[in-house]
Chains A and B, each alone.
Chain A
Amino acid sequence: MTKQVRQLDRVVIRFAGDSGDGMQLTGDRFTSETAQLGNDISTLPNFPAEIRAPAGTLPGVSSFQVHFADFDILTPGDAPNVLVAMNPAALKANLRDLPGGADIIVNTDEFTTRNLTKVGYTANPLEDGSLDGYAVHPVGLTSMTVRALADLDVSKKDAERAKNMFALGLLSWMYSRPYESTITFLERKFAARPELVAANIAAFKAGWNFGETTEDFAVRYEVKPAKMSPGNYRNVTGNTALALGVVAARVRSGRPVVLGAYPITPASDILHELSKHKRFDVTTVQAEDEIAAIGVALGASYGGALGVTSTSGPGVALKGETISLAVALELPLIIIDVQRAGPSTGMPTKTEQADLNMALFGRHGEAPVAVIAPKSPSDCFYAVLDAARIALTYRTPVILLSDGYIANGSEPWLLPEIADLPDLSVEFATEPNGPAGEFLPYLRDPKTLARPWAIPGTPGLEHRIGGLEKADKTGDISYDPANHDLMVRTRAARIEAIEVPDIEVEDPDGDARVLVLGWGSTYGPIGAACRALRQRGCAIAQAHLRHLSPMPRNLGEVLKRYDKVVIPEMNLGQLAHVIRARHLIDVIGYNQVRGLPFTAAELETMLEEVVKNV
């Protein structure tokens, strides 16, 4: 049967099921196939905090959203065009996000009275007309998978578990995805159990063939490749990009890396990834607690390595005292904070940007550090390299603020040429620097204000450092009032001396009167909202802060050019507070703390109101 093929410019698909249904894997594979095709992609996984929440319940629903298009896109998409619901819980948990007319593919085998009751359905939504506004495709995913595998030597349980591959096969057919990489993937993943390779491939093909033969799916879709810069690409999540950035910092600085980390959601993947890269002289220490983790990193930096610690907000809170010590010792150190919803344990798997205040101010005493925030998954790579540049050049702790949204979300990444990455090589002190042939550990470079990095093992430069206030130049313990004042101001000046690029403004029309200023992971939704507004003839300027400490020198001048400045943040206005205080302008805050990224649509509506009223 020949099917009609329809061209689309973009599609958003959400795979949703029980946390044991393999939705993350399904989404990952679909993404990979889509990447092979050359579409631009953005993905957003959403999983429960519990590893195995009770089966079939609303808290147990896990989902993976993928947005792909024939043009460059900035977000995983606000609303899915297609929902794959593996059970009633997945349908119920995701239905409210669907626009009318969306396709819903449901696994009818799971719509039993028992499963329906479990999530509070009194009637079967597939039968009671409540889904009339959608294009519902009822498919017996489980039973068809089991039938397709009847001749194979697998248990009923294993056969049922392959239903996600049936779904993937069906969707791959629907959107004309190339599937060779999935076949190879399955062969690799189940290499030790050939019967599972056969079962999963058979399930995938059964799904594909089902699409081709059934009349329920009359149309097949195509999304043409996006126009992207030539080169080699891979899909990358923020956490992987962070880990690869740390390896890049090691390669480009020549310094070994020591990562101290304690397991914590959503940052543990950085530890997992880096533990695989020992051949680069990257050492990982899974420490006994968060404090030890940063202690290990700082001890390694003292010895001449690049010390890194990765964690989330609760971990940064525990590390505060050691960050202060690093401020006093003036040693390089990178603290990666993959922010999650707080306070306290909060919602570990949900995103938030509410650690900015802690990063900027969360230490005792005057303890300024550099703070940097990546704007997208692949940007995490470059943000770490920039953090390493600052840490190594200025001998300071740098806090990098990622968040759960970009940590787990992914996008295509044009792989860089290694030689094009910044040169991060550093020089250690090897000779005495004092006028009388002595070594002065706190004599500063006049430009960077950095002190010499004299590592143990260097003959003739034996010296002692510590958390007690130090005398200028000599580093001896000092309680002198004037010296303390000088050292406090010098430490602040050292952060202000850090070179950061000017902030750039995107204002294609050139006549915008409203500027929307963001930082970190909100870049995508803000950018998408601005584009949509401009397409409708509404002028708006966008600027995004990567450097939160120090801030770009031209920021004040940029802000004053606009009648109104809007700052959307996934917190209650932390950047807005800083901007008001520093620049004495009354910014408009737009704040949400729902554990979810902004949608482009809500930002568009909000910004349009502001633009209309200037």
Chain B
Amino acid sequence: MSESVSIKLTTKDFKSDQEVRWCPGCGDYAILAAVQSFMPELGIPRERIVFISGIGCSSRFPYYMNTYGMHSIHGRAPAIATGLSVSRPDLSVWVVTGDGDALSIGGNHLIHALRRNVNLKILLFNNKIYGLTKGQYSPTSEVGKITKSTPVGSTDSPFNPISLALGAEASFVARTIDSDRKHLQSVLRAASQHQGSAFIEIYQNCNIFNDGAFDVLKEPATRDDFLIRLEHGKPITFGADGEWCVVHPPGGFGLSVERTAETDQAHVLVHDATVADPAYAFALSRLPDLDLRHTPIGLFRSVDRPAYDNLVREQVTAAQSKLTRGLDEEFAALLGSGDTWTIL
């Protein structure tokens, strides 16, 4: 993790000279703009920020950031970023990925980065479709989805990315939405202050192949009843007038939604992202129905856990601190250790 230094940068400083080439109207534009305008807040010089992506529409992202960046190969960004972060603790390393990139071809790398708790900010743009390859169902597409590769409907059960991240022991798990810049930036802010892996699922509209996938969370007519905004330390209520609340019914494992008016105030859950047991955040992640009703956004979980790269560096630094001679001499001693003999 980088310590902050006092430098003054603006949104413009983070825009590269490359022409942005997403489809007009794509949710990626809003995310890019939100990230670019958030970056100055980090207080980290541009040269110490690195964006690493895999393959997919979202993975074009690094080209548009005037920082260091690598557009790598499909699914492998978390692994490459791990190598960078483990050897360069002075950098702020961000991974940009999508639902296909992170959860299908790169699923293994994602879960292992999260379990290790590498210092990476992982932004997963979830549009529930393969965009770059022109519209096949993805590992987050709903069962029955009609796409180019599933003309009579998908028979795959989708992943719930938040549940998956929690199952992989992620220490920081959040969800936000492309169109809500304020919320998106609040999540980025929390992530930037987190030690270890910060996993952020961003619902992103692909207006070409899966348009309107998240409209119920955005339309004034539905959003109040569909969206649950998690706020640390606050009772979990939602609806236009807070008429709904989340409770933990006695005897059950999961959570349920009740009418606030009919619920004892003492039973309304107060959100605490720092609960050590991931079961709580997991239960939150299972609240949404198939039609996205009761979708929580915000910070599900944020707990302290040692970061892998910090631990690795500590071992290296500890070994280095015991050195009493130069590397050449130390190496000569290493070569000559064990059974040696001399020929005169």
* Shortest Cβ gap from A300 to chain B (Å): 4
User: A231 interface residue, CB < 8 Å from B?
Assistant: yes
- Is A192's beta carbon under 8 Å from chain B? no
Residue in A230, A299, A300, A417 whose Cβ sees the most chain B Cβ within 10 Å: A299
Q: Does A461 contact B (CB under 8 A)?
A: yes
The docked-state distance in angstroms from the alpha carbon of A244 to that of B81 is 27
Q: Is the CB of B79 within 8 A of A299?
A: yes
Interface flag for B48 (CB, 8 Å): yes
Q: Which of B67, B84, B320, B330 contacts A299 (CB 8 A)?
A: B84
CA distance A232 to B334 in the complex (A): 13
Within 8 A of A (CB), among B65-100: 65-73, 76, 79-88, 90-91
Interchain nearest-CB distance for A290 vs B (Å): 10
Known A418-B332, A456-B68, A457-B90: A296·B80 in contact at CB below 8 Å: yes
Would you call A291 and B71 a contact (CB within 8 A)? no
Bound complex: CA A307 to CA B225 (Å): 51
B81 contacts across to A, CB distance below 8 A = 299
Indicate if A490 sits at the interface (CB-CB under 8 A).
no
A467 near B339 (CB under 8 angstroms)? no
Q: Which residues of B have CB within 8 Å of A324?
A: 73
Task: Choose among B46, B83, B315, B330 the residue that contacts A298 (Cβ–Cβ < 8 A).
Answer: B83
Q: How would residues 81 to 98 of chain A score, 1 for a CB under 8 Å from any chain B CB and 0 otherwise?
A: 000000000000000000
Q: Report chain A residues within 8 Å CB of B112.
A: 287-288, 292
Contact of A325 among B48, B73, B108, B322 (CB under 8 A): B73
Query: In this assembly, does B181 line the interface, its C-beta being within 8 Å of a C-beta of chain A?
Result: no
A456 and B327 in contact, given A292-B79, A322-B73, A468-B71 (Cβ under 8 angstroms)? no
- Chain A residues with Cβ below 8 Å from B16 are 464
Q: How many chain B residues touch the partner (CB < 8 A)?
A: 59
Instruction: Kindly report which residue of chain A lies nearest to residue B344, judged by CB atoms.
Output: A230
A456-470 contacts to B (CB < 8 Å):
456-468
Q: How far is the CA of A247 from the CA of B341 in the complex (A)?
A: 22
Given contacts A244-B335, A279-B319, contact A251 B328 (CB under 8 A): yes
Does any Cβ of B come within 8 Å of A71's Cβ? no
**A321 in the interface, Cβ–Cβ < 8 Å?**
yes
CA distance A228 to B343 in the complex (A): 7
Contact between chains at B70 and A302 (CB < 8 Å) = yes
Report the Cα distance A122→B16, complex, angstroms.
Answer: 81
**For this complex, into which size category does the number of interface residues on chain A fall?**
35 or more
With A247-B331, A415-B335, A418-B328 given, is the CB distance from A462 to B88 under 8 Å?
A: no
Contacts of A280 in B (CB 8 A): 327, 330-331
CB pair A292 B73 closer than 8 Å: no
CB distance from A11 to the nearest CB of B (A): 19
Partner of A258 from the list B87, B323, B334 (CB cut-off 8 Å) is: B87
Residue-wise interface mask of A (259-295) relative to B, using a CB-CB cutoff of 8 A (1 in contact, 0 not): 0100000000000000001111111010111011101
Find the B residue at minimum CB distance from A456.
B68
* Cα separation A297 to B253 with both chains bound (whole Å): 43
| A415 and B336 contact, CB distance less than 8 A | yes
Taking a contact as CB atoms under 8 Å apart, the answer to whether A325 and B68 are in contact is no
CB distance from B153 to the nearest CB of A (A): 32
B91-A457 in contact (CB<8A): yes
* Contact between chains at B340 and A415 (CB < 8 Å): yes
Is B334 in contact with A244, judged by CB distance below 8 angstroms? yes
A181 part of interface (Cβ distance < 8 Å)? yes
* B residues apposed to A, CB below 8 Å: 16, 18, 45-48, 50, 52, 55, 62-63, 65-73, 76, 79-88, 90-91, 108-109, 112, 312, 315-316, 318-320, 322-323, 327-328, 330-332, 334-336, 338-344
